[in-house]
Structure 1
């Protein structure tokens, strides 16, 4: 009797991209299926982070590239604000102020509300003082992406102007990809310094409120 031995063929299937051919002496040659890994990428991401980046991804599922828009730092926006005032260039200041911004200068009884009212105030301010009178920043906070504190004084031809020291606080937010001031408060050094008299006045007002609490409603 004649025994015919036929060769064994292992078919290669190119469409099985996640399979691998493995030789195991105990089991013979076989196809081993590897697990597929699925990576889910969001189609649209827009995120303003503390690192001042606005990241946008395409809503096209086949797109693999993303666009990163670098936002200007909050402290730099405030620096530009002071620079525009010093140059009397209110046009450059306009886009730094949000439309619904509220600006408090504690010298005035009421805050200025809205971009137009604030620009009108600064137009009156720069129109009433000499170009030689300039804001000089003494210190400014750099770390926060939405809040900035500033200490400053006024210089007259490069020399400190008397009774002109002040401090300001600004809060910022992002509108249409641009960081803008939405709130500001200025506190300026008084020309008359009451000293210990201020403490006496505070104690007197506190005593009145303790005796007549209803007076607090009139503040």
Structure 2
């Protein structure tokens, strides 16, 4: 009887010790908030420091690749901002041969001072060659800012300078969309907006207000006109040809010829003054 009681007592004692041991292990293994949160924060901080270190190494090494887990990131060799900067440098250096290397074969260039856009590589290159010839030897583009949206689009603020002196009314903005062709980044679409020398000021707001009032009064007609503006131009040209051309064309032609004569006389007088100054300043 005593042996039975002793055996049962030992069994109960062993069962109690086993239960406490399991309870202790369970308490240790439970992810309590007080124990695990600092550990998780420490892991995040270490991971963030390691990530910044890897990104720093990636930015300093141009052609190297960085690996994050199962993903491998490689820096792109193409940059629209860098290419556009080199493009303006080519224009300033009057390098017409290198200019071809920046223009795509299907380039579409809209210069808002011209009535029609330039389409195709030949027309766009011809425009920039005429631009370089018109700039002379001392006029250059001064690029103020180049803003890059992604690897294929960039916007540029610029103005013209003569011997590093800004020229009035020559500020402009250009927007470029590029494409990869072969191993180069080329200009595919472009638009240039140039500052107007005419500053109408508040007159523009008055005209806009009157125009929008007409739009609101005749919405159907406005919608038709905005969708087909070429129809208006055709009708205006027909009316001009039928009723006004016979009277206005001779006046315009005489006005143009008069200004041509004035410009020739001015150039002649200017050349004479330059020659006289060269003689006396020697």
TM-score scaled by length of structure 2: 0.51
Could you say which residue in structure 2 is the equivalent of 1:45? none
CA distance in 2, matches of 1:211, 1:143: 40
Q: Once the 2 structures are TM-superposed, how far is the Cα of residue 125 of structure 1 from its aligned partner?
A: 1.6
Aligned residues: 155
The superposition leaves residues 89-117 of structure 1 with CA deviations (integer Å, 9 ceiling, x where unpaired) of: 12112111110010011000111001110
* Aligned partner of residue 170 in structure 1, secondary structure: strand
Q: Where is the helix percentage greater, Structure 1 or Structure 2?
A: 2
1:70 to 1:217, Cα distance in 2 relative to 1, 3 A: closer
Q: Which has the higher relative contact order, 1 or 2, with Cα contacts under 8 A spaced 6 or more apart?
A: 1
Structure with larger Rg: 2
Could you say which residue in structure 2 is the equivalent of 1:135? 141
Instruction: Please provide the CA RMSD for this pair.
Output: 2.1
Alpha carbons 1:141, 1:149 under 8 Å: kept = yes
The answer to whether 1:165 aligns with 2:175 is no
CA distance in 2, matches of 1:96, 1:163: 27
The superposition leaves residues 60-103 of structure 1 with CA deviations (integer Å, 9 ceiling, x where unpaired) of: xxxxxxxx896331111101111111111121121111100100
Could you say which residue in structure 1 is the equivalent of 2:132? 126
Structure 1: state its 5+ residue gaps: 1-51, 56-67
Could you say which residue in structure 2 is the equivalent of 1:181? 187
Alpha carbons 1:171, 1:181 under 8 Å: kept = yes
4+ runs of 1 displaced by more than 6 Å? none
The answer to whether 1:215 aligns with 2:230 is no
Structure 2: state its 5+ residue gaps: 1-61, 66-73, 230-282
The superposition leaves residues 147-169 of structure 1 with CA deviations (integer Å, 9 ceiling, x where unpaired) of: 00110111111011000111110
Could you say which residue in structure 1 is the equivalent of 2:201? 195
TM-score scaled by length of structure 1: 0.65
The answer to whether 1:102 aligns with 2:112 is no
